[in-house]
Amino acid sequence: MTKKNILILSGCALGWMFAVILIPLARNFRYEELRAACRTGHVGTVRLLLILGADPNGKKDYKPSWTAEFSYPIEGAAQNNYPEIIHLLVKAGANVNVDVPGEGYEESPLCITAREGATEAAQALLTHGAWTTTRYGTSALAVARRRGHEEIARLIEASSQIQPNQ
């Protein structure tokens, strides 16, 4: 066996040991890390956390509270206009139509993009089948128009997604 082969084998062994130690630790994350990475646009961190088993819906750590800035990972990506993160989350199983506690009503990630003017994120959500009206009757189109985000309003109008209240 040559030195090169020994180095390759020892590198593989170290990689496996690293994975054996790190994967169980990642499953114990409280998912605040995933939400923070989604909110701040750290695509590489989001990708790594999802590979290591973080829940893309954040269900295990969801604690409704008026102090919580974001309840679900997809909320932060939607509000801050990170379409690549939305694609990663959806590919990992995130719900684009999750009910998000709002100001006195339930909204959705699409309503958040309509409120914030996050055009690219709205397009990503619509691409992945986001409903234009929540099951509580909140219309993302109405939110976009009320906030003056006409480009998002046009995207929503062009969408032919099935509405839950129809």
Q: Quick check: is 22 in a domain?
A: no
User: What domain range includes position 42?
Assistant: 31-158
pLDDT for the residue 107 = 84
Question: Nearest Cα to 156, choosing from 101, 105, 119?
Answer: 119
pLDDT for the residue 12 = 52
Q: Quick check: is 96 in a domain?
A: yes
pTM of the model: 0.75
H/E run at residue 11 = helix 3-27
Pairing relationship of beta strands 100-101 and 106-107 according to DSSP bridges: antiparallel
Q: pLDDT truncated to tens, each residue of the chain (166 aa)?
A: 666 555 454 555 545 555 555 555 555 555 788 888 999 999 999 999 998 888 898 765 445 554 455 578 998 999 999 999 999 999 999 999 988 876 656 789 999 999 999 999 999 999 999 999 888 888 999 999 999 999 999 999 998 654 554 4
Q: Quick check: is 120 in a domain?
A: yes
Question: Nearest Cα to 36, choosing from 24, 45, 28?
Answer: 45
pLDDT for the residue 74 = 93
Q: Quick check: is 5 in a domain?
A: no
Q: Quick check: is 52 in a domain?
A: yes
Number of domains in the chain: 1
d(CA 85, CA 77): 6
Q: Quick check: is 38 in a domain?
A: yes
pLDDT for the residue 57 = 87
Q: Quick check: is 37 in a domain?
A: yes
Structure tokens at 95: 């719900």
Q: Quick check: is 13 in a domain?
A: no
- The CATH number for 146's domain is 1.25.40.20
